[in-house]
Structure 1
């Protein structure tokens, strides 16, 4: 239960709306009980009066009460649902924002251990499950308790013994049944949450890997695993449905026994009146209707295990400590950059060896540096340290002789432009995909940059309003690369980090992109990670890496003259 405490604080923002929802629920329950109780008494009293030949019965007031209770129940139910669901959706909105705000500082280090489907399930499905906390637990429980007190107090005006008996039965049911069915349904609820996440994760992987699964003939095997998980999920749902049916049956049984007890006790007299007449029907129908207030409670606590499991899964995400933290105070972004690394070493979590070992380098303003090496030698890791996706365990990274960690996050983002190895295309317009790098850029500037990177063909149909990504135009690998270069150039930062920027480009386009970068960034610092040798002669410094270490550095001519690793790479071409 402690797992729910952090999320209960979110309800404080909407405490008045939530309280109003509970008040309307109580009013609706009282109107429902009053409707059946008054109707039963009125019909019984009318029958007795007619049978006895009594003509002085005032039927106008009870009839008005019945109509008033019916209208109140209908209107109360409508407004209770309106207010409660509106408040719940607002709480879920803040919960999603809260969860996402906690996830942002964790990316990518804290999220690397989770698969995409698992993260999506926790952010969406598990957050949605928490709406049960108010709608199915808090509101029914508080409403039932208050209604029991009011009904007991109201009946005590007629007969204290009967009122206490009925109230006692209802209170015992309220305090015993929910914990029993919570324990009975706890494991089932946890299994449901786990199996739902597992199934959605498998489904996401199956959809994303459809091409590879089909090519290698593994689609049937993977689908069989999904079907096995789905069967387990359905079995857990069946067990939960059985518990729901059992709780409802027990509630009906207890209600029926309470009605019989009230009938037996009231038949002996009500409030000292040995001939209670229609008052017997009043107590019987009140007992019958009052158990409506308890009906949702057992089912609510049965689902509480699922709610707690979802809360624990969200808490597991949000309570992680970020691998990298930024200063809270805002710092200015430099206009020119001297980048210095001194004996930087880094190891990924749970890995036996370092990705970088005592690495040192310096890039001055306007200097263009190419970092060359085989796959897995630490090139991309170096760029991730510079963007502060990770923090080195040893050594220093300096920007203009100041620690990189002293820059605020916004200042760092203004200082660095990045062309990542994996370019993400947002499902949005072409304009939106470019404006994320330069929010204030004009349409003319965006169109001009697209032409400079050779993507003028994207402007042919709807111009900058062309829809890209899902439901729109998909880009090839080469087009994605050039779009990323356009974003980086529009960002116009003094330091540009390029991770395989010409991958997937033909020789002519590659040369054009390198010339464009050299021209636009001639007064700015560039670090380009690559394993391609074309165009490296124009770089001021070439660094060759292997096993996380720098094994060679120098200009193109110097490295060729040294006949080392760079020379060997050139000879293989």
Structure 2
């Protein structure tokens, strides 16, 4: 299936280890058959009191084959597992490279628990593809072929019996396992995804569930999901054990068949009795190599299903419906990262851009056109759902416009690599993520190139600029910054953005949780740093917008007004009404 193409590509990149594992596996398999065959022949020879040198040769051969088998098996395990872990590493890298450009859309379509199950569980499932799916058939064919040729030298009919046993263990037993497992595997996967979703929602929503008295109900749902998954996994394991038991039964049936057929051939004088024990042990040993075939279908189905889910989550670049154009020759000049060098500000142009979320009946943006001159300061205001944040997503190349063009310095945004844009833009989104660690760790999480001698002063200065001077750089931050207030989180996010390079600022409600006094101080320091840069601010509050070069008013995905603060107030339109409502609310609060 085409979803496994990336896995095949990763396997080709590890072909050296794969070939080594196949070579060592073949040597180990044939050495094992030869070891037990030689042991059986030696046991038979002792009955006839052979010369001493014959026993010495046979004993030495058995010891040598035992050493070769052990050493080869170690080499096979070393090479195969090294190849498997390298393949898994490449798969993770490839998957996350695909995931980043489509992350916003995925978060809207998938529940976080299911997405976590795909990112972790499905990627991990693919580690079995080489060892449990691709590798066993190769070993079975190679080792069986050599054993059959060896057996045919002594008896054609015994060779035919081994071929029949191989066909049954390689095709009939796996076919039965597939028929038993097909429905069960689907149920196990569904229950696993359900359990992951329930666990994630209970962990993330524990506080709200506790407050609203829904925790006990959620715990019951979680226990039910866990019990259902355990029950289905037990049924699935039982079916796999049944397949393995059938394989063992066929192995012994073939061994008994070799014994009976050997006795008949010895009676007819077509086989020497001294070879019977050798052929019996060879037949019993060779079927050890086909034991993995009994569970191969289950691993194959898991791998294909995991690859399919990953392809649905993060399809290849050519299937993501993202317009990818050649890199502009001036792109590196435009976005060359440099913290302290003087560079010209970025010009932003949005030309008749429309955007509609997948599955939505209405467009989020409708033929929006804006121009942000280099070094200008622009504010976008409007009610919730008017499309303000969507513009930032498009400028950050997190989404692709349905129609229209966005340009940075007169170059279409499709010609810029998204990582170059992210790396060289000061961004503060409504929801910022913080890592478990210190304040210093979170400030430097994306900014490791500060001069060590200036690092301390720079970090302390930026904390003071965002009114967080009461925090120390070594103060600990919990996961998701749960020990910080919403206002402190926003100011820490602003501080992190102020440490980044670039001349473009994209700010989405950066101070919505701050009081008016703190907000004014933070914005003053931010504007001082961005005085020569291009800045786009999305906000609901209308206080302090007098300093903006232009204010864009949006409603229902359209631009309804554009102008300076004084121009919009004099027009007494939508912005004027919003401002009057805000003044009235402030007056009521003061009263």
TM-score (norm 1): 0.89
Aligned residue number for residue 381 of structure 1: 390
The answer to whether residue 52 in structure 2 is matched with residue 76 in structure 1 is no
Task: Specify the alignment match of 2:339 in structure 1.
Answer: none
Aligned position for 1:35: 35
Q: 1:215-260 CA deviation, whole Å, 9 max, x = no partner?
A: 1122222233333332332232222222222222222222222122
Equivalent position to 1:569, from 557, 562, 582: 582
Q: What is the rounded CA distance, in whole Å, between the counterparts of 1:70 and 1:437 in structure 2?
A: 55
Mapped partners of 2:262, 2:350: distance in 1: 89
Q: By how many angstroms is 1:191 displaced? A: 3.0
Structure 1 residue aligned with 2:504: 495
In the alignment, is residue 371 of structure 1 matched against residue 372 of structure 2?
no
1:116–1:323 CA distance, 2 compared to 1 (3 A): farther
In structure 2, which of residues 361, 366, 374 is the aligned counterpart of residue 352 of structure 1?
A: 361
What do the CA deviations read for 1:66-102 (whole angstroms, capped 9, x no partner)? Answer: 2223223332322221211111101111111111111
Distance 1:100 1:448 in 2: 35
Measure, in 2, the Cα distance between the counterparts of 1:390 and 1:252. Answer: 55
Following TM superposition, by how much is the alpha carbon of 1:403 offset from its aligned partner in structure 2, in angstroms?
Answer: 4.1
Report the 3-state secondary structure (helix = DSSP H, G, I; strand = E; otherwise coil) of the residue aligned with 1:252.
helix
Aligned with 1:491: secondary structure? coil
C-alpha displacement of 1:483: 1.9
Unaligned runs of 5+ in 2: 335-342, 587-591
Partner of 1:518: 527
Deviation at 1:421, TM superposition (A): 0.8
> How far apart are the structure 1 equivalents of 2:402 and 2:363?
10
> How do 1:60-71 and structure 2 match up within 5 A?
60-71=56-67
CA distance in 1, matches of 2:327, 2:412: 15
Looking at structure 2, the residues matched to 57 and 65 of structure 1 have their Cα atoms a distance apart, in angstroms, of 12
Extract unaligned runs of 5+ from structure 1: none
Aligned equivalents of 2:266, 2:437: Cα separation in 1: 73
Out of 445, 466, 470, the position equivalent to 2:458 is 445
The answer as to 2:276 corresponding to 1:267 is no
CA contact (8 A) 1:259 1:288 kept: yes
Q: How far apart are 1:295 and its partner, in Å?
A: 1.5
Contact 1:145/1:171 (CA < 8 Å) preserved in 2? no
1:182 aligns with 2:178: yes
Say what the alpha-carbon RMSD is for the aligned residues. Answer: 2.9
Counterpart CA distance in 1 for 2:485 and 2:560 is 35
Q: Deviations over 1:499-549 (max 9, x none)?
A: 111122222211101211232222223221111233233333333333233
Give yes or no for contact 2:162–2:254 (8 Å, CA) kept in 1.
yes
Query: Does 2:156 align with 1:143?
Result: no
1:458 partnered with 2:474: no
For the structure 1 residues 91 and 173, does the alpha-carbon distance in structure 2 shift closer, same or farther, using more than 3 Å as the test? same
Q: Residue in 1 aligned with 2:15?
A: 15
Q: Note if 1:485 corresponds to 2:494.
A: yes
Alignment of 1:196 with 2:196, yes or no, is: no
- Residue 4 of structure 1: aligned partner: 4
2:485 aligns with one of 460, 464, 476: 476
Aligned residue number for residue 92 of structure 1:
88
User: SS state of the match for residue 288, structure 2?
Assistant: coil
- Cα distance in 2 between the residues matched to 1:180 and 1:61: 45
Q: Distance in 2 between matches of 1:352 and 1:451?
A: 46
Distance 1:28 1:83 in 2: 13
Distance 1:432 1:481 in 2: 16
The answer to whether structure 1 residue 420 and structure 2 residue 426 are counterparts is no
Deviations 1:433-490 (A, max 9, x none): 3345544323133332222222333335x3xxx6544399843322221122223222
Deviates more, 1:54-63 or 1:202-211: 54-63
Secondary structure of 1:109's aligned partner: helix
Q: Which secondary structure state, in structure 2, belongs to the residue aligned with residue 457 of structure 1? A: coil
Name 2:327's counterpart in structure 1: 329
Q: Distance in 1 between matches of 2:53 and 2:513?
A: 93
My pick for the range that moved more, 292-301 or 270-279, is: 270-279
Q: Structure 1 residues 262 and 570 mapped into 2: Cα distance closer, same or farther (>3 Å)? A: same
Alignment partners' CA distance in 2, 1:85 and 1:192: 27
Q: Are the aligned partners of 2:490 and 2:511 in contact in 1 as well (CA < 8 Å)? A: yes
Residue in 1 that maps onto 2:340: none
- The range that moved more, 300-309 or 87-96, is 300-309
- Deviation track 1:387-436 (CA, whole Å, cap 9, x = no partner) reads 23233334444445554444443554466322111111134554443345
Specify whether residues 548 and 156 from structure 1 end up closer, same or farther in structure 2 by C-alpha distance, changes over 3 A only: closer
Q: Which whole-Å CA distance do the structure 2 matches of 1:385 and 1:219 have between them?
A: 39
Work out the CA distance in 2 between the residues paired with 1:240 and 1:2: 27
Aligned to 1:319: 315
Work out the number of aligned pairs and report it.
565
Report the alpha carbon displacement of residue 562 of structure 1 after superposing the two structures with TM.
4.4
Aligned equivalent of 2:337: none
Task: Quickly say closer, same or farther: Cα 1:356–1:40, change in 2 above 3 A.
Answer: same
Q: Determine the structure 1 residue equivalent to 2:554.
A: 545
The C-alpha deviation readout for 1:90-115, integer Å capped at 9, x for no partner, is: 11111111111111222323553123
- TM-score, structure 2 as length reference: 0.87
Contact 1:545 1:552 in 2 (8 A): yes
- Contact kept, 8 Å, 1:467 with 1:473, in 2: the verdict is no
Aligned mates of 1:115, 1:404 — CA distance in 2: 30
Range that drifts further, 244-253 or 203-212: 244-253
Closer, same or farther: CA 377–287 of 1 in aligned 2, 3 Å:
same
Alignment map for 1:196-275 (pairs within 5 Å): 196-269=192-265, 273=269
SS in structure 1 of the partner of residue 326 of structure 2? coil
Partner SS for 1:354: coil
1:126 aligned residue: 122
Q: Given the superposition, is the C-alpha separation of residues 395 and 67 from structure 1 closer, same or farther in structure 2, using an over 3 Å criterion?
A: closer
